Amino acid sequence: MIINSRFFNRSELIGFVALAALLFVILPLSLDVFRLNLVAKYLTYAFVGIGLVLCWGYGGILSLGQGVFFGLGGYCMAMFLKLEASSPENTKIQSTPGIPDFMDWNQITSLPLFWQPFHSLTLTILAIILVPGLFALIIGTAMFKRRVGGTYFAIITQAVAAILTILIVGQQGYTGGINGMTDLRTLKGWDIRPDHAKVILYFFEVFLLFGCILLAQFIRLTKLGRILVAMREQEDRVRFSGYSVANFKIFAFCMAAIFAAIGGAMFALNVGFMSPSFVGIVPSIEMVIYTAVGGRMSIFGAVWGSLLVNVAKTGLSESFPQLWLFGLGGLFIAVVLAFPNGLSGIWADYVQPRIDRLLAWRKPKPAKAWTDSSVADGAPAE
């Protein structure tokens, strides 16, 4: 009997090393700062993707509203940066100096109460985690305790995304409206705009990404990870094994929200602005597509999916702007119909076996490969 208790199995370890080599060495050495910053932008969606792997791939909870949490995280970060950029010296031409420019344009004369905590970086970092986490907790509790799931849940998350977008656009004086929060300059006095800052922010983001990958992998390997899989298949059996299914769904949804929020905060830092166009229905669905293309059952797949689809998006929309949306839609349909496990599924089904065969051929006598002995034993007892 083999119970695999290692943190990564062999193919996961290869995936981890390959991704680390790509993001830490190959891309920084081969791309100019502009392109590297684009990669940083694409990778912010990888955070969302990792959350979706846990919540959708493992837990079977499809959220079409991850843009909400991406946006909440992003706006928390942007509010801090905007406040710092709106120092009285920088804004002395305004009728009320010391408040963000869009407030001044909207005849708001003092900083609203909910903006006050964003003077502090510590509170901002807490808010990036807690605001989306609590919001997901409220939505999750309201839905899952009432046993709302599947398509209904997906539709409700869409509605929430639509509502939040309308709210942000409508409350221009408090949120910057449709333009979002632009002209973000410094983080604790450190200018985030020049090239060397972009490079440092890229590496910071990649470190965080690997932190999230490790955390997600840890969760996946605990009994909770197996309960998520069990729940996706036989919800009732989990319930009648003594578990509160709703609590586990709420946990998965909250974790996905927090991962998405970290991605959003990184977006605000790396791209230098935040706007409602990253919150609504369309970006939320795009995030799901990135995950589906990469493979919803694979943490690494989600990262690759976010990278590759966005590279294709940039490439295609630079040359054929009208075609891109059709391409994205077609890609999603193709993945769902032909490759439900996405790129990571194609890798595991077609590429990996060939590599294995090649390695086995080079080493004539493999030292006790870890094949599943019980499968080979074949016929059942009787």
Tokens found for residue 374 = 């019980």
Q: Which residue number, 2 or 338, has a Cβ lying nearer to another protein?
A: 2
Residue 243 binds another protein (CB under 8 A): yes
Rg (CA), the chain: 23
Least distance to another protein, CB of residue 255, Å: 10
DSSP characters over 317-356: HHH-TTHHHHHHHHHHHHHHHH-TTHHHHHIIIIIHHHHH
Query: For another protein, how many residues bind (rule: CB under 8 A)?
Result: 36
Residue 99 binds another protein (CB under 8 A): no
Tokens found for residue 52 = 């979706």
Pairing type for strands 186-187 and 190-191 reads antiparallel
User: Alpha-carbon distance 244 to 100, whole Å?
Assistant: 46
Rule CB under 8 A: which of 194-223 touch another protein?
219, 222-223
Q: Which residue number, 153 or 253, has a Cβ lying nearer to another protein?
A: 253
Cβ neighbour number for residue 163 with a 10 Å cutoff: 13
The phi, psi pair for 191, rounded to 5°, reads -70, 125
Residue 120 binds another protein (CB under 8 A): no
Kindly tell me which residue out of 33, 125, 229, 316 binds another protein, with binding defined by CB under 8 A.
229
Piece of the chain touching another protein by CB under 8 A; list 115-123, 201-209, 335-343, 367-375: 367-375
Residue 3 binds another protein (CB under 8 A): yes
Q: Which residues contact 310 (CB under 8 A, 6 or more apart)?
A: 41, 42, 45, 290
Least distance to another protein, CB of residue 236, Å: 6
User: Alpha-carbon distance 71 to 75, whole Å?
Assistant: 6
Q: Which residue number, 62 or 219, has a Cβ lying nearer to another protein?
A: 219
Residue 375 binds another protein (CB under 8 A): yes
- Strands (E) across the chain are located at 186-187, 190-191
Task: Assess contact for 53 and 216: CB atoms under 8 A.
Answer: yes
Q: Can you give the length of the chain in residues?
A: 382
Kindly tell me which residue out of 126, 234, 336, 353 binds another protein, with binding defined by CB under 8 A.
234
Least distance to another protein, CB of residue 240, Å: 5
User: Alpha-carbon distance 312 to 303, whole Å?
Assistant: 14
Residue written as token pair 């009648």: 240
Least distance to another protein, CB of residue 50, Å: 17
Kindly tell me which residue out of 120, 244, 333, 340 binds another protein, with binding defined by CB under 8 A.
244
Residue 376 binds another protein (CB under 8 A): no
The site for another protein (CB under 8 A) is made up of: 1-3, 5, 219, 222-224, 226-227, 229-230, 232-234, 236-245, 247-248, 251, 372-375, 377, 380-382
